[in-house]
Amino acid sequence: MLEVRDLGFAYQGQPLLFDGVSTTVPDGHILAVVGRNGAGKSTLFKLLNGLLKPEDGEVLVGGKSISGRKISEIAAHIGTVFQSPEQQLFAGRVEEEVAFGPRQFGLPANQISERVSDALNRTSLLDQIARHPLDLSAAERRFLAIASVLAMRLPVLLLDEAQRGLDRVWTERLESILEAERSAGKSIVMICHDMDFVERNADTVLALGGRTPRQIPVPAFFSDTEVLAEVSVERPTPYRLREFMT
Amino acid sequence: MIEVIDLHVGFASSDVLKGVSLRVAQGERLAILGGNGSGKSTLAGWLAGWFSGGTHRLTAGGCLWNGKPWDDYTLVERAATVQLVGQFPAQHISGRAFTVAEEIAFGPENLGLPHEEIVTRRDETLAACHLEHLAGRDPFTLSGGEQQRLVIASALALRPKLMILDEPFSNLDPEARSHTLSVLNALPADVSVIIMDTNPDTVLGWANRLFVLHEGKISEFGNIRATLFDPTVIATIGLPAVTRCFLEIERGSGSAENLSRDNLPLTFVEAAAILRRSRSA
């Protein structure tokens, strides 16, 4: 379980971006973070994974506070797939990229290789094992970043626009990974601009950029026209179509 | 006018484009749809004259702007003629500008334009792209969506005759998306625009012509419906969101009308008309 309590943050010389933001992502739950460009979605992720330090409040994983710990210690609890995978990939071979994380845990070689093949299999990248990460297509690079995080087998996953620019085939692959991780009891937070994707996959929504960010169940969020307008979010297609039927 | 003639290109050990031919006349608005890995970004790069040599391998064919290959133009001529906005905005930022305003001026400065012209273009672009409130910010501190808008603005400041945008809307909120479309629609009539996308929704109602890139080959079907309902297109990029959700609703409720690919709704307006009719029937 991931808990965020009364988070406060401002970039230097700028007004307060977050003031008392709280949210809870139970085990086996997907929270979608939505809001207009520049609302602070990616900043929230950096406060969760330790790349930025909150001014107030704390972040807890499994009931224990991780605030103030080193990034490497936080990375043993929270895995992040960043918005641009090319900025997170660094190895010379696909399998090296995926093995890097589990290796930091000091696991024996056979367990590392089992985790690498499992993660690459789940992301449909097994046949790319020997390639250079930056020779992969954009979708494959994104899934390689996902595989690297899956291989860590962490309780909390952060995905920043992981669905962006994916075609039908890759979108369905991502959705089945999300479903499997949810069933495995992971706490998942995804930043997402695609409201149809949010409607299909998330349990609750945290909308940033409005007056008071609150965590709202998906159906209630998309039925609240006031909040939707405040945070500049479109209703998902099924909601808009059903309007025509009533 | 840009012309692609039987373009065969590869990258690393694979062939990416396997004989692509395409002609884009002045002022056309063209969308090229394709799944991930279909070669869209490679085609975009060749259209913009980015890849001659290097790791990108040309085996046959080529691209001509007004009858001449890009290699025959100087860098300045090419930059003033064609601009490509790729999928990764952070990779476009020059790194030579401390502010958003300087970043937009960077291109016109490198064209060697007079100072007043650079300032005019910078200020007009800031206003047209609604970036004035970010003018003094460091480009690298912007959010992903804001960077995407800055990169589009920087390209427009060069006043190109051909704009190519590779998935330009995927990172934008609804307001920014519709504003970006209106900026593209307000371009002078002789500017051609090509949008590459995996998602049919973003280009429906915008494009004059719709192409599909699949396994390195390009096709133009008879019309937009024939394109979107092609079985390969449905299997790779999927139906438009409205059509897909409409079919799901229909399966549950049953409709009074016979629906086929000739009259299935592609847009909210079309869906609303059918749903209202079936409700009153």
CA–CA dist B167, B165 (Å, integer): 6
Residues of A in contact with B142 (CB under 8 A): 38
A171 falls within a domain: no
A82 falls within a domain: no
Residues of A in contact with B91 (CB under 8 A): 86
Name the residue with tokens 């000739």.
B262
Same domain, B105 and B153: yes
Residues B170, A36: C-beta atoms closer than 8 Å: no
CA–CA dist A213, A205 (Å, integer): 10
Nearest CA in chain B to A37: B145
At residue A134, the pLDDT reads: 87
pLDDT tens per residue, range A96-112: 999 999 999 999 999 99
Residues A245, B91: C-beta atoms closer than 8 Å: no
- Sheet harboring B29-34: ordered strands across? B82-85, B162-166, B192-197, B29-34, B209-214, B217-219
pLDDT tens per residue, range A110-169: 999 999 999 999 999 999 999 999 888 889 999 999 999 999 999 999 999 999 999 999
The domain in which residue B32 lies consists of 28-58+76-238
A133 falls within a domain: no
Residues of B in contact with A237 (CB under 8 A): 241-242, 244-245
CA–CA dist A41, A61 (Å, integer): 19
A211 falls within a domain: yes
At residue B257, the pLDDT reads: 61
pTM attached to this predicted model: 0.92
B253 falls within a domain: yes
pLDDT interval class at B90 (50, 70, 90): confident
pLDDT interval class at B255 (50, 70, 90): low
Q: In Å, how far are A18, A177, B147, B192 from B160, measured between CA atoms?
A: 41, 42, 20, 9
Mean pLDDT across B80-97: 92
CA–CA dist B281, B275 (Å, integer): 10
B21 falls within a domain: no
The minimal CB distance from B237 to the residues A38, A167, A241 is found for A167
Percent of all residues in chain A with a pLDDT value above 90, rounded to a whole number: 83
At residue B27, the pLDDT reads: 95
At residue B57, the pLDDT reads: 83
Q: Which of B169, B172, B171, B125 is nearest to B31 (CA)?
A: B169
Its sign, for the CA torsion A146, A152, A155, A156, is negative
Q: Residue A69: which CATH number?
A: 3.40.50.300
For the residues of A99-133, what is the DSSP string, one character each? HHHHHHTT--HHHHHHHHHHHHHHTT-GGGTTS-G
Number of domains forming the structure of chain B: 2
Q: Residue B108 in contact with residue B157, Cβ under 8 Å? A: yes
Same domain, B128 and B203: yes
Same domain, B268 and B194: no
Residues A237, B241: C-beta atoms closer than 8 Å: yes
Mean pLDDT across B240-260: 79
Number of domains forming the structure of chain A: 1
The minimal CB distance from B245 to the residues A140, A170, A237 is found for A237
Size of interface A-B (CB pairs under 8 A): 117
Q: Residue A166 in contact with residue A159, Cβ under 8 Å? A: no
